[in-house]
């Protein structure tokens, strides 16, 4: 357990510079247990702390672990160039806390995206050494055939890759959709693998990371949620 002054608490949670947080507190815009706290020097226990700012309730969190159902035409970048960034889908104070996407999805790829301000977590989740499977549903231009599935399972050669890249599993869902599971996370990997196998990806959605599924999170496109400890524990290989 630890105590911090209220202005430091607000600053740590991304509500702005300390001077601004002090003004916010003095204006009576911050309440704890329904009571306005107007002295920024008030020492508060952070463990389990809930507070409101402008009437909206927040919980003190040392780090943020989030899941987002990424819509199409959003970039996984803090400095997007051609489309809005995924951070624009989150509260502003999350951006102030340096929340970043864990890995990247192309601007036209949808689905499950993890985000955090915990550098160690981001590094661990991004490391190829952990062999965390990621499940994608790809829509193809041409029909999905048994030959295509077999090629993806056997492995295809991509430019600048020394070895064949193969799917962990690959299942035909219908005439123009397949579910493909990968561990490597190479640049544009699903699209490039389909192209190398003689087809073309027209839409791509990441539906699962480790054992955590987008369906279980029940998020509409553009919606986000905090990850619980149980959900965090699912972000591992089977």
How many structural domains is the chain composed of?
3
- Specify the CATH number for the domain of residue 31: 3.10.290.10
SS3 of 92-124: HHHHHCCCEECCCCCCCEEEEEEEECCHHHHHH
Residue 180: inside a domain, yes or no? Answer: yes
Q: 146 and 201: one domain? A: yes
Q: Are residues 116 and 222 in the same domain?
A: yes
| In the predicted structure, residue 79 carries a pLDDT above the cut 80 | no
**pLDDT, position 197:** 92
* The last residue of a domain, from among 35, 59, 83: 59
Q: Looking at the structure, tell me whether residues 205 and 148 fall in a common domain.
A: yes
Confidence bin at 130 (pLDDT 50/70/90): confident
Residue closest to 58 by CA, chosen among 6, 23, 121: 6
Indicate whether 36 and 79 sit together in one domain. Answer: no
Per-residue pLDDT reduced to its tens digit, 1-40: 589 999 999 999 999 999 999 999 999 999 999 999 999 9
Range of the domain at 179: 133-209
As annotated, the active-site residues are 106
Q: What is the pTM of this model?
A: 0.91
Co-location of 165 and 226 in the same domain: no
Closest CA to 25 of 36, 14, 13: 36
Q: Check residues 236 and 60 and name the one with the higher pLDDT.
A: 60
The pLDDT value given to residue 110 = 97
Question: Quick count: other Cβ atoms within 10 Å of Cβ 119?
Answer: 11
Task: Give the residue carrying structure tokens 């299942």.
Answer: 171
81 confidence band (pLDDT: 50, 70, 90): confident
Residues 6 or more apart from 191 whose CB is under 8 A from it?
106, 201, 204
Phi, psi of 27 (to 5 degrees): -80, 0
Same domain? For 80 and 187 the reply is: no
Closest of 139, 198, 193, 192 to residue 168, by C-alpha: 193
Q: Which CATH number covers residue 138?
A: 3.30.70.1560
pLDDT at 126: 85
Residues 104 and 219 grouped into a single domain: yes
- Whether 237 is covered by a domain: the verdict is no
In this structure, the answer to whether residues 113 and 225 fall within a common structural domain is yes
- Tens digit of each residue's pLDDT (9 = 90 or more) over 176-224: 999 999 988 788 899 999 999 999 999 999 999 999 999 999 999 999 9
**Residue 238: is its pLDDT beyond 70?**
no
- The answer to whether residues 164 and 204 belong to one domain is yes
pLDDT at 84 over 80: yes
Question: Which pLDDT score is estimated for 1?
Answer: 52
pLDDT tens across 144-186, in order? 999 999 999 999 989 888 889 999 999 999 999 999 999 887 8
């Amino acid at each position: 357990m630890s105590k911090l002054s209220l202005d430091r608490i607000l600053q740590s949670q991304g509500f702005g510079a300390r001077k601004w947080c002090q003004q916010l507190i003095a204006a009576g815009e911050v309440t704890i247990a329904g009571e306005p706290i107007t002295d920024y020097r008030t020492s508060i226990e952070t463990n389990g702390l809930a507070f409101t700012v402008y009437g909206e309730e927040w919980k003190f969190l040392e780090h943020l672990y989030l899941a987002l159902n990424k819509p199409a035409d959003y970039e996984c970048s803090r400095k997007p160039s051609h489309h809005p960034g995924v951070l624009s889908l989150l509260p502003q104070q999350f951006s102030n806390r340096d929340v970043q996407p864990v890995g990247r999805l192309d601007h036209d790829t949808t689905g499950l995206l993890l985000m955090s301000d915990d550098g160690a977590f981001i590094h661990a989740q991004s490391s190829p050494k952990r062999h965390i499977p990621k499940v994608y549903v790809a829509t193809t231009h041409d029909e999905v055939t048994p030959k295509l599935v077999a090629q993806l399972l056997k492995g295809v050669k991509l430019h600048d890759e020394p070895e064949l890249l193969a799917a962990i599993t690959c299942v035909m869902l219908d005439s123009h959709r397949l579910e493909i599971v990968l561990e490597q996370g190479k640049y544009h990997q699903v699209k490039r693998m389909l192209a190398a196998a003689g087809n073309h990806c027209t839409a791509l959605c990441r539906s699962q990371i480790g054992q955590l599924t987008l369906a279980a999170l029940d998020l509409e496109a553009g919606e986000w949620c905090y990850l619980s400890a149980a959900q965090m524990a699912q972000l591992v290989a089977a």
